[in-house]
Amino acid sequence: MKCRILHESKGRIRVHFCQKHMTLHQADMAEYALSAVSGITKVQVFDRTCDVILYYRCDRKTVLSALAHFCYNQEAEALVPEQTGRALNREYEEKLASAVMRRVLHKLLLPLPFRRLISFIKALKYLRRGLQCLMRGRLEVDVLDAVAITVSMLRDDFNTAGSVMFLLKIGDILDEWTHKKSVDDLARTMSLGVEQVWMRTADGQELLVPVTQISKGDCVIVRTGSMIPLDGKVIAGDAMINQASMTGESVPVHKSEGAYVYAGTVVEDGECTVQVENTAGNGRYDRIVKMIEESEQMKSSAESKAAHLADKLVPWCLGGTLLTWLLTRNATKAVSILMVDFSCALKLAMPISVLSAMRQCAESGITVKGGKFLEAVADADTVVFDKTGTLTHSQPRVAQIIPFGGRDEAEMLRLAACLEEHYPHSIANAVVAEAERRGLLHEERHSKVEYVVAHGISSMIDGKRVVIGSYHFVAEDEACKVPDEHIFRHLPKEYSHLYLAIGGEIAAVICIEDPLREEAKTVIETLHGLGLSNIVMMTGDNERTAKSVAEKVGVDTYYSEVLPEDKAAFIRKEHEAGRRVIMIGDGVNDSPALSESDAGIAISTGAAIAREIADITISANDLYALISLKKLSDALMKRIRRNYRTIIGFNTGLILLGAAGILPPATSALLHNASTLAIGLKSMTDLPVPEQYQQPKSQGD
């Protein structure tokens, strides 16, 4: 792309694309294509002026090369998501500008009789709203607006009536923009994150292929803990499907042959073969938007409280107006009270504050599905951490393989990888990655694979039952024999152990190195300092491993060898004790606890079902995002409380000044609406907390 440098400073450059006009789609292509360049941290594209601002940490030559090689091609277009929000923002920017320009032109160009006629026509909408509210037997804000406008016009004060309606219109536009932007931002963050799927070929083979290669009519296999990648019909198998993301149902639904399943839903138990009917991205965004709009999950209790308080104050405002008129017989003083209500600011500032916090969370690699979950994080006093993949790295490594009975080490790893690749989680990924690193091909040799949550996997190979999983599953539940007691008793204690058994006999132990996250101890210390008094670690690992990790990271309490239902039961017990609980996990076995908690937080590299059930997802590379989340949540609640005090205090002052005759109605209306816009604009600004915590660099970096 031919461009001209307009301004440059350290780490920042502004350029002008040499083209006459830039469409919104071209602006999106430029933003996402340039953002994908390594070292470029942020890209701002201004389509009206064809200017682009780039922030970078890489070499300047890399940035200039990226600009020089950029063009509007299919490669750039492929990086643009289904919805970007640019068109939505432009729509409401134009609505606001249009409303302001019409108001200015009417005041400057139209004669008074025409302005009065227009004011009367516009007032009909507000009068209709007020009458409809009264017909429902309710005294709400619409009634107050209708009375204020009507009284102003009856007093021949059309300027005040027009000003009130103009500011109400601006408030409606901002409120609608806030809501739609919240929905749009959230819908775009709820991407599937499915890149590869298991496709069943015509001859019955299973192939792992990119989801983009799937066509209508192809068959994909989805197993326990995995997300259904595409819409389609079940042609084989039985599964319990969690459809909360699509239908809002909290209970999994049984799906068998002939049933329709949706992309983005998750198999909680069982497996099914789905014949694809809609390919990637086909209509999912619209369905998510509809689901969110019909759901109340985005509303925090603070937002609901603001809306209810605004309506409850209406009778008091009307009563104050009537009382003032009865005591003073001064219509001007009485109308001054009508010009002031608490609804605009209360109903506008709170959702905008929540939106601002959610946006800042997204910038820190945190996806929040609703305002009430930020409120839950702010109010929480207990945090429950899963260990594997959460306090430890999400990519454990195979450290050692110990075969028994003279079996070949490589063959045992090949067999383990063959089974584990069907149910991807952190330990399974480690086994598959080690086989790949050693160049071991693991062709399908087994029959149907069965997954037992929090225990392991079983299948049949060459007529023998093969199981892989925890010691409890293999040695106790499956009663597999231990071939060499001496070696078995002296397994390396610093590793987690994955047991592989063939034909009722343990054939190998795979030692998994589960390195602790470097930042875990610092994060937990900081969370303690932020008011979280009870930090708990729960893990399915043995007592020895759990104790070692707990001592290193500094949790208050730890529990070892727990099952998924144990984690959920612990959270229920904490709720009964009056505590608010956050759960942080990444695996299939964490799903019940994530669902049970006040705010379930999933690590994005974990299982699909954990991400789907969780209320908050962290996609950052470290746990410092938890500190950002807590600080943002606390700052949000602090802003909301400050907004309450400001709105109630300022508007009460206006009412008193109006009743005293110090402020005329027009001035009261102007100050009230100006304060509403000021508080709304202030609520749009970033909350005063660090954007994100970065992991300290080692000396070797």
The model's confidence at residue 194, banded by pLDDT at 50, 70 and 90, is low
* One domain, residues 548 and 650: no
Distance CA 487, CA 498 (A): 15
* One domain, residues 271 and 249: yes
- Contact criterion met (CB below 8 Å) for 568 and 593: yes
Distance CA 701, CA 691 (A): 23
* One domain, residues 225 and 287: yes
Query: 150: closest CA among 665, 571, 647, 658?
Result: 665
Name the amino acid, one letter, at 261: V
**In Å, how far from its chain's centre is CA 455?**
30
Reported as a single tens digit per residue, the pLDDT across 79-120 is 787 678 888 889 988 998 998 899 888 888 888 888 889 888
Question: Is the pLDDT reported for residue 191 higher than 60?
Answer: no
**355 assigned to some structural domain:** no
DSSP string of 586-624? -SGGGHHHHHHSSEEEEETTS-HHHHHH-SEEE-SSSTH
Question: Is the pLDDT reported for residue 460 higher than 80?
Answer: yes
| Range with the poorest average pLDDT among 149-158, 262-271, 283-292 | 283-292
Query: In the predicted model, what is the mean pLDDT of the chain?
Result: 81
**Number of domains making up the chain:** 5
Considering 45, 80, 115, which residue would you say is the last residue of a domain? 80
Domain range enclosing 545: 366-393+516-619
**680 assigned to some structural domain:** yes
Average pLDDT of span 349-360:
79
273 three-class SS: strand
Name the amino acid, one letter, at 538: M
Average pLDDT of span 151-177:
78
Question: CATH number for the domain including 470?
Answer: 3.40.1110.10
Q: Dihedral of CA 282/285/289/291: which sign?
A: positive
* One domain, residues 423 and 448: yes
* One domain, residues 303 and 167: yes
Reported as a single tens digit per residue, the pLDDT across 486-525 is 777 778 877 878 899 999 999 999 998 778 888 999 999 9
* One domain, residues 385 and 521: yes
Question: Is the pLDDT reported for residue 2 higher than 80?
Answer: yes
**484 assigned to some structural domain:** yes
Distance CA 42, CA 692 (A): 15
Q: Which residue intervals of 364-421 are DSSP H helices?
A: 371-379, 409-420
**357 assigned to some structural domain:** no
The model's confidence at residue 670, banded by pLDDT at 50, 70 and 90, is confident
Question: CATH number for the domain including 68?
Answer: 3.30.1370.10
Please, which residues have CB within 8 angstroms of residue 169's CB and are 6 or more apart in sequence?
A: 99
The model's confidence at residue 251, banded by pLDDT at 50, 70 and 90, is low
**628 assigned to some structural domain:** no
Question: Is the pLDDT reported for residue 570 higher than 90?
Answer: yes
675 three-class SS: helix
Q: Are strands 456-461 and 557-559 parallel, antiparallel or unpaired?
A: unpaired
Question: CATH number for the domain including 216?
Answer: 2.70.150.10
Average pLDDT of span 366-381:
86
Query: 53: closest CA among 4, 14, 26?
Result: 14
**411 assigned to some structural domain:** yes
Q: Which long-range contacts (CB under 8 A, 24 or more apart) does 7-13 make?
A: 11/55, 11/56, 11/57, 12/53, 12/54, 12/55, 12/56, 13/53, 13/54, 13/56, 13/60, 13/63
Task: Given the residues 386, 514, 590, 634, select the one marked as catalytic.
Answer: 386
The model's confidence at residue 701, banded by pLDDT at 50, 70 and 90, is very low
Active site residue 341: no
Q: Which residue has the tokens 């309606």?
A: 165
* One domain, residues 408 and 506: yes
Structure tokens at 597: 């908690």
**45 assigned to some structural domain:** yes
**689 assigned to some structural domain:** no
Average pLDDT of span 232-252:
74
Question: Is the pLDDT reported for residue 293 higher than 60?
Answer: no
Average pLDDT of span 378-391:
89
The model's confidence at residue 572, banded by pLDDT at 50, 70 and 90, is very high
* One domain, residues 171 and 275: no
* One domain, residues 611 and 580: yes
Distance CA 396, CA 402 (A): 17
Reported as a single tens digit per residue, the pLDDT across 427-455 is 788 888 898 888 887 666 555 677 665 56
* One domain, residues 167 and 315: yes
Q: Are strands 260-261 and 231-242 parallel, antiparallel or unpaired?
A: antiparallel
* One domain, residues 386 and 438: no
* One domain, residues 323 and 181: yes
